[in-house]
Amino acid sequence: MTTTKPLRLGTRGSKLALTQSQMVADELTAVTGRPVELVRIVTPGDTSSAPVAQLGVGVFVSALRDALLADEIDFAVHSYKDLPTGEHPRLHIAAVPRREDPRDVLIARDGRALADLSPGSVVGTGAVRRIAQLRALGLELQVTPIRGNIDTRMARVLGPDADLDAVILARAGVSRIGRAAEITETLDPTLMLPAPAQGALAVECRSGDTDLVELLAALDHAPTRAAVLAERALLATLEAGCAAPVAAYARLVRGGHAGSAPGDGRGEEMIHLRGAVISPDGVRAIRLSRTGTPAGAAEIGKALAADLLDAGADTLMGSTE
C-alpha cells in the first residue's frame, strides 16, 4: 500500500463510539503511519427507543457492515459484544485490541455501594443479564429498564432531574469517555459476571482486502482475542444473543488458577472461563467454569456451554420469552 490516502473508519455517532474509534485510528496511525478519517454511520439502534432485547442481535452493527460491503468505508470499529456470534462470509475481524476492564460498575447517589442501597431503591439498567443478576442478589431493589448513551443514563442519577437511585453500566465505556471518577463501585464478577466480550473492540474489514487485513493485524492483542473467543464460543453454542441472560468472563492465568497472575512463573499460561445463565427473575442460576490452553479457546467455550446445557441452562434462557 503506497498511497497516503486516509483510510475510512466507519463508526456510530455516539460519544462512546467516536471515542473508541478515534482511539483505534490514533493507534493505527502511530503503529503504521497511515492516516485515518472517521466516517459517521447511523444505525437502526441509534434511531430507535425500543429496548435492545426487542431490537435484536446486531442492530448496532448492521449499518456499519452494509457500508463496508458497499465500499463506503474501509474498516469499522464495533463494541465486540454487539456483534452476532456467527461469522460473516465477506467480512473479517482483523484485530481485537487490548481489552478495557470488562467489569460492570455502579453509579449511585451519595457515593453509595450496592450493599448500601436501601430496599426499594430504583436501579436502572437495560440488560437482561444485569437485571437477572441484581434480582439474584436478593437486595429487594426495584430494577427499571433504561436506554440512552452513557451521559444520559448517568444524568438519571447525578443530574438535576435525577429520577433513579443508581445505574449499572460497563466500566469500559465509562472509563473511555473520561467519567471513571464518578463510579461509586466496581462490581465483583462473583456478584455481576460481565457480558461475553464486554470491554473488547472488534476491528472489521472486508475479507478480500488482504493488504488491509495485514495492516490492521498490527493492532491485535492475542490474549484479548483468546479470551473473547472463549466467551463468544460459549454464547454461540448456547445459541443465545447479546440480550440473553448469559454472562461469561475469561482470564489468562498462570497454572490454570484464577488467583495467579500472568508472569508469576507458576506454570504455563491458561484460560480460565466462567459462565453463567440466570433466569430473568433471578430465582435460578447455573454458574460453572472451565480451564484450558489459549490455543483451545473456542473449544473451552463450547465445552462450558455444553456443561451449562447439561445442567439445564436452556430452560432458564427459554423463560425470557
In a domain, 158, yes or no: yes
Q: Are residues 309 and 239 in the same domain?
A: yes
Q: Are residues 65 and 213 in the same domain?
A: yes
Q: Are residues 109 and 90 in the same domain?
A: no
**Looking at residue 210, which CATH number applies to its domain?**
3.40.190.10
Q: How far apart are CA 205 and CA 94, in angstroms?
A: 7
**Looking at residue 274, which CATH number applies to its domain?**
3.30.160.40
In a domain, 310, yes or no: yes
178: left (phi over 0), alpha (psi -120 to 50) or beta: left
Q: Are residues 279 and 160 in the same domain?
A: no
In a domain, 320, yes or no: no
Which one of the listed residues 12, 34, 74, 82 is annotated catalytic? 82
pLDDT at position 25 over 50: yes
The whole model's pTM is what?
0.88
What integer pLDDT is reported at residue 4 of this predicted model? 80
Q: How far apart are CA 109 and CA 84, in angstroms?
A: 35
Tell me the three cell numbers of residue 210. Answer: 488482504
Total domains in the fold of the chain: 3
In a domain, 285, yes or no: yes
Catalytic, 81? Answer yes
What residue type is 263 in one-letter code? G
Q: Are residues 213 and 231 in the same domain?
A: no
Which one of the listed residues 34, 99, 153, 290 is annotated catalytic? 153
pLDDT at position 122 over 60: yes
pLDDT at position 295 over 50: yes
- Across 286-302, average pLDDT: 97
Q: Are residues 204 and 252 in the same domain?
A: no
In a domain, 128, yes or no: yes
Number of Cβ within 10 Å of residue 90's Cβ equals: 10
Catalytic, 206? Answer no
Tell me the three cell numbers of residue 5. Answer: 490516502
Strands ordered across the beta sheet of 285-292: 246-254, 269-278, 285-292
What integer pLDDT is reported at residue 243 of this predicted model? 60
What integer pLDDT is reported at residue 148 of this predicted model? 87
Q: Are residues 160 and 16 in the same domain?
A: no
Catalytic, 99? Answer no
Domain span at residue 178? Answer: 104-186
Q: Comparing 125-134, 223-232, 233-242, which segment has the lowest mean pLDDT?
A: 233-242
Over the stretch 195-229, which tens digit does the pLDDT of each residue have?
999 999 999 999 999 999 999 999 999 999 999 99
For residue 153, report the phi and psi dihedrals to the nearest 5 degrees.
-70, -40
Cell numbers 481485537: residue: 96
What integer pLDDT is reported at residue 244 of this predicted model? 72
Tell me the three cell numbers of residue 114. Answer: 450496592
CA angle 182, 189, 186 (to 5 degrees): 10
Which one of the listed residues 65, 130, 135, 251 is annotated catalytic? 130
In a domain, 262, yes or no: yes
The string of DSSP codes covering 62-90 is HHHHHHHHTTS-SEEEEEGGGS-SSPPTT
What integer pLDDT is reported at residue 42 of this predicted model? 83
Catalytic, 129? Answer yes
In a domain, 135, yes or no: yes
- Across 239-258, average pLDDT: 78
Nearest residue to 234 (alpha-carbon basis) of 306, 311, 320 = 306
Which one of the listed residues 242, 274, 290, 302 is annotated catalytic? 242
CA angle 7, 171, 305 (to 5 degrees): 90
Which one of the listed residues 12, 65, 81, 290 is annotated catalytic? 81
**What is the average pLDDT value for the chain, to the nearest integer?**
89
What integer pLDDT is reported at residue 239 of this predicted model? 85
Q: Are residues 93 and 11 in the same domain?
A: yes
- Across 49-61, average pLDDT: 54
In a domain, 191, yes or no: no
Strands ordered across the beta sheet of 104-108: 142-144, 122-124, 166-170, 104-108, 185-186
Nearest residue to 277 (alpha-carbon basis) of 250, 315, 251, 225 = 315
Q: Are residues 63 and 210 in the same domain?
A: yes
Q: How far apart are CA 76 and CA 201, in angstroms?
A: 10
Interaxial angle between packed helices 15-32 and 150-158, expressed in degrees from 0 to 180 and rounded to the nearest 10: 130
Catalytic, 242? Answer yes
Q: Are residues 153 and 168 in the same domain?
A: yes
What integer pLDDT is reported at residue 3 of this predicted model? 55
For the chain, give the percent of residues with pLDDT over 70.
87
Which one of the listed residues 147, 179, 254, 284 is annotated catalytic? 147
- Across 186-203, average pLDDT: 97
Nearest residue to 7 (alpha-carbon basis) of 55, 85, 73, 56 = 73
Q: Are residues 214 and 90 in the same domain?
A: yes
Which contacts qualify for 136-143: CB closer than 8 Å, 24 or more apart? 136/278, 136/282, 136/283, 136/285, 137/191, 137/282, 138/282, 139/114, 139/115, 141/117
Which one of the listed residues 34, 129, 225, 274 is annotated catalytic? 129
pLDDT at position 261 over 60: no
pLDDT at position 90 over 80: yes
Q: How far apart are CA 260 and CA 280, in angstroms?
A: 33
Q: Are residues 133 and 179 in the same domain?
A: yes
Tell me the three cell numbers of residue 249. Answer: 468472563
